[in-house]
Amino acid sequence: MEQEVSQLQTEDDDSTGSTGLPRVRINQIVEASVPKKKGRLFGLARRSPSVPFASAPPSSYVDQEVLLSQMRDKDARISALESMVASQEAGWEAQRKLNEQMMAMMRSMNPNANVDFPTMPDPDFQTP
């Protein structure tokens, strides 16, 4: 067996040479000499740089027009969301001004009440 395996290797030890053995016999020699783990063969050879990793997804061609169309759609969605946020912030600012006017009006209606209404509830405040 060792002699047959050594016949499969060339001097540079990187590839199998022309041995005159049929492919079926070469496969049998390799299967007999390579360790198996969970039914899989390990240590056959180095991976060629031109061959992608087995776990890597196959590369596929993506049309540039499709990508540009998707980018335009996403840009449109982003700008629509930005305008929605801007309108919400404008609404919140208008509500804040209205709240301040209401507070001023309530204070003017009862000037003797020395109550300071907080603009935001204090999260650290604990009632006794």
pLDDT score recorded for residue 120 = 63
Q: What is the mean pLDDT of each run of 10 residues along the chain (128 residues)?
A: 55 53 78 68 56 58 88 97 96 95 88 63 61
Q: Round the CA-based radius of gyration of the chain to a whole number and report it.
A: 38
State the Cα–Cα distance between residues 60 and 66, nearest whole angstrom.
13
State the Cα–Cα distance between residues 56 and 126, nearest whole angstrom.
57
State the Cα–Cα distance between residues 30 and 46, nearest whole angstrom.
14
Neighbours of 19 (CB within 10 A): 14
Which SS3 state, helix, strand or coil, does residue 3 take?
A: helix
pLDDT score recorded for residue 10 = 47
> Looking at residue 47, what DSSP letter applies?
P
CA dihedral 61, 65, 69, 75 (to 10 degrees): 90
Q: Which amino acid is at 73?
A: D
State the Cα–Cα distance between residues 46 and 14, nearest whole angstrom.
8
pLDDT score recorded for residue 14 = 42
